[in-house]
Each structure stands twice: as structure tokens, then as C-alpha cells.
Chain A
């Protein structure tokens, strides 16, 4: 997914001279193609996230479209004020490409785990927050970013994820995608958790439970009408996110229903990261298990809401 995102920056740079890349001391060789072919629009700056966000704002003020890339925690926590003031208050078309959303950097510990990035980015006016479910969708998202006139936060999963998205569904920022319809229940998902939900729905189907998936690649702006029409006719709804349970996708869903359809609230359960910093290392999968984000817990949460 990360490779696809960066390849797209290169492709966009080729077709549009406003596109610039800004990295903060990334790994050796990142986007070498861009560096060779249009070096003036390739910036590999030091370890200085606050500065690169401000600098990207300056470039955007003069008509450029900067794509800024580094590790998600450093692109959100470290420079939150720069993101809020320089990008969001000025409402500039800067794209933040955030490596390693959720538990990707498990062995590196809590300083590297972006567990609340969606919540804090979502809290900022003008910011769009997107978490594609696989590399194909990342490609569709990236290629649609040129004309969005506001800042965008793009959350990356780990590489090599299974392709589950379908080109037929297209991609429109802010528009939910029904990946599968369901008659008993619906999973409301974002990012690579859409994959887990699809696997889980297959398991449930074997037991005769018909559960669908509505994939919210865009968490902000939140597609209220899309999600409500997807869930209003089922008996149970479970939101699934690789993100702290407070303030992310599940919260957005509850807020929306609370405002527009309070009658739906009681059928919604949330699955996500508990409200504490990671206490284990290991791998992304071992952490997900530790956090209780597995097919088993999704089945459990769905069946409980279905009263089974």
C-alpha cells in the first residue's frame, strides 16, 4: 500500500507540475525515480516534521500540491499544531501520507503506534481523513486527490495486504462503499479492517448468518446518508477499526446516528483498540489479538447484538 501510494505521487508528478513530494528523512532510495526525473519537486528534508508541514503549507499557498510522507505518529502527534494552523486554518491542499496506521509497527512499541491518529485528525475542521483497504483502492484514492481543495490525511496499512476492493465500486472521497449487502447484520469498517470483516462475514455465512460490510474509506467527511441507508434495515451493526475505540470510526458512526437516527443507536457495538497504550510488542497480528480485534471477537460482538 505504501509503495502504491508513493508510486502514485510519481505518476501524479508526471502529469501535473503542481505536485511536489516532501519526505522527512525516510529510508534510502525512496522515490528515486521522482528524484531523478524531476529533482526540483523532490524534497528529502531532515528529521523535522513540524518544519516540513509548515514548509508544505508555504508551497501550497503558492499553488503547489505537496504530498508529505513519514511515519503516522510523527505526522500527527509531532506536528499537530502545524497541521491545525498551517494546513487546516489556511485550508490548503496538502496531502499527508501516513505510514503504519494502527499496529503496523508493533515491535517498535507505543511511540511508533498510530492508535489515535484518526481521532485527532478528524477533530480538525477542513481535514479529510481516508484509510483505504488495499493497494488497489489506494491507487484509486491517490489518483483522485489532485482536485480536492482541502488537506487530506491518508492512513496506510502494512504492505502486501490482500486485494479485496473492486474497481467496479469506484472511488469517491466521502462516499461509503457497500462491499457486501447483508440481511441480518452489517460491519461498518475502515482501512484494512474491511478485510478482516469480509473474512468474518464468510465465517458467519457458514452458520447461516447473513452479514454485510459497508466500507468507510473516508472517515471524514463522513457519509452519513450512505451509512444510515446501509444499516437501517439490519438488526445488528458492529464497527471495526484498528484504532482506539474513542474518537474514530465507531464514534463517528454513533455521533451520526445520535443526531440523525437515534433509533439505530441500540443496535450498534464497537470493536477497536482499548483505551490504553500498547503494553506488548510482537507483530501486528499478535497485537490485534492482544487488543481483541480478531474474527472471533467480531463474531462474538455481532452475535451478541443479534441476541444469539
Chain B
């Protein structure tokens, strides 16, 4: 699928940050650009001038190592200046290699240790219900990330509590750190797994903006169960040398040539 200008712009922001920090999770960030773009452009309720407004929707990036994509969209929306992106990973920057609540406006939870987002999101969703707020809670996990048992403990609880205000999205890019998810720890049948855990579950092409918008419009999929959206994506999307290549999960010590090679793809 061709990337439009907006998808390219957000990818450019990610590279700006990588150039500043000399490092970053390229593959992990590029697979989730369209998911975040659609979430922030068309789905979530938020106010960059008042990032803690009580009636905002909550988005938790559970795969914290994909934070470059989150920083790109937050900067684009005005949570902090776009020029700040290039401070990525510098000693006194707010923008670290994993996102931190309280440091970065718009970041709801400090993540980076995998498997924490969904349990936290269940707590947030329960709090919204107890406080009679209409805010919705969204959480994005990786596919390798859901190897962690904590996701499934939280998943069962989300169903038990009938959290229709909770949506879990998976960035199903078919790769984890070591290699293919199908070889390291096969998740299939993934749709059936989430269904059997009590989630009303749909699949979508995670790079197809129109398809993403359409699926998010259908939320909640049920008013008595949590929702799951499995987003089929390509790790490193947009960068042929990185697409589907585990060597580009994370890179440090990036050179100007590496960086230029990335800009050239856009």
C-alpha cells in the first residue's frame, strides 16, 4: 500500500528523533505509525493544551519500545514542540528510549518492560466506570509482547468485568526480537485466542488508513465485553532494508549514512 504524505511526515519525525539520539527501534516504530495516526486523528478525545483533562480518552502504549512513533504523533498534535524530537535519549531530554508518565505530556504510563499495559488499562477502564466517565481506554501491545502471561491474566479479568470501554490493539508485525513470532512462540490461532478470552475481536490491515477508521467507528464491538483489534502490519514498514528484518528491531550507533538511507525511503 502506498503511503500518503501524512504517513510519510510522521515517519520523518521518527527519523528526526533517531538522528538526534543516534539510535532507536526503527522496525518497532514504523509498523505502528498508521495505527497511532488514525487513533489520534479520528478516534481519541484529547486536548494537547490540557493533557490531563479528566474527560480525555486514555491511550497506553504497552510496547514502550515503539515510543518513537508515539513521540512523533504527540509532537504533531502539539503536546510538545516538534523541535524537541531531536533531543531523543539525550541526558536531560524528556524523550527517553521508553516513554515515561509525568515526563512526556500525553504519555499515560511508563512502559518498556513488556506486558504491563493491559493490566494498567484494565485498572483505568474500571476507574472510568466507577467514576461514571465516558472516557474510553485503548492499549497497544506488540505481538511478541503477548508472550507474557500478564496479558492473559488481565485479559480474563477484562472479560469478567465486561469492560466495553476497553480496546486492546495488537501490532501484529509477525516479528519479535529474535525472529519470527511463528518460530519463537507461535500465537496462532490469535483471533480465536482473544475470542476465547472473552474479547469481541476483529482483524484489520494496520497500514490501511480507511480500514482502520472504519473498524474504530464500530467500537465498542459489544456493550458487555472488551474489544480486541488485531492489526496486521509490517515491521519496518516503508523502509525496504528494514521490512521484516529482525536486525532492524533496534539499532544504536547509527551513522549519518544510515539516517540518510532512511530519509531517502520517504
Instruction: List A residues at the B interface (Cβ < 8 Å).
Output: 23, 25-28, 30, 44-48, 50-51, 73-74, 77-78, 105, 107-112, 280-283, 286-287, 290
Contact = CB atoms under 8 A, between A and B. Distances in A.
Contacts of B252: 107
B179 A28 contact: yes
Interface stretch (B77-85, B109-117, B256-264): B109-117
Contacts of A110: 100, 110
Nearest to A78: B113
Contacts of B179: 28
Nearest to B113: A111
Contacts of B112: 108-109, 111-112
Q: Which of B93, B113, B149, B176 has the largest count of A CB atoms less than 10 A from its CB?
A: B113
Contacts of B145: 47
B23 interface: yes
Given A28-B178, A111-B113, A48 B147 contact: yes
B100 A109 contact: yes
Given A44-B178, A281-B91, A282-B89, A108 B98 contact: yes
B160 interface: no
B144 interface: yes
A48 B23 CA distance: 26
10 contacts: A25-B144, A27-B177, A45-B185, A48-B147, A107-B89, A108-B97, A110-B100, A112-B98, A281-B96, A287-B91
Contact of A108 (B96, B148, B184): B96
Nearest to B97: A108
A180 to B, nearest CB: 33
A77 B145 CA distance: 17
Q: How large is the interface on B (under 10, 10 to 19, 20 to 34, 35 or more residues)?
A: 20 to 34
B64 A26 contact: no
A50 B144 contact: no
A48 B149 CA distance: 7
Interface of B: 21, 23, 64, 89-93, 96-98, 100, 110-115, 144-145, 147-149, 176-179, 184-185, 246-247, 249, 252
Given A26-B178, A280-B91, 19 more contacts: A25-B177, A25-B178, A25-B184, A27-B178, A27-B246, A28-B177, A30-B178, A46-B185, A47-B147, A48-B147, A78-B113, A108-B96, A108-B112, A109-B96, A111-B64, A111-B98, A112-B97, A281-B97, A282-B91
Nearest to B114: A47
A50 B147 CA distance: 11
Given A27-B177, A28-B179, A109-B112, A46 B89 contact: no
B184 A107 contact: no
A46 B114 CA distance: 12
Those 8 A-B pairs whose CB atoms lie nearest each other, nearest first? A46-B147, A282-B91, A46-B185, A111-B112, A108-B97, A107-B89, A109-B96, A47-B147
Nearest to A286: B91
Contacts of B184: 25, 44-46
A78 B112 CA distance: 12
A105 B148 CA distance: 22
Contacts of B96: 107-109, 281
Contacts of A111: 64, 98, 110-113
Nearest to B103: A279
A28 B149 contact: no
A109 B97 contact: yes
Contact of B89 (A45, A47, A48, A281): A281
A289 to B, nearest CB: 9
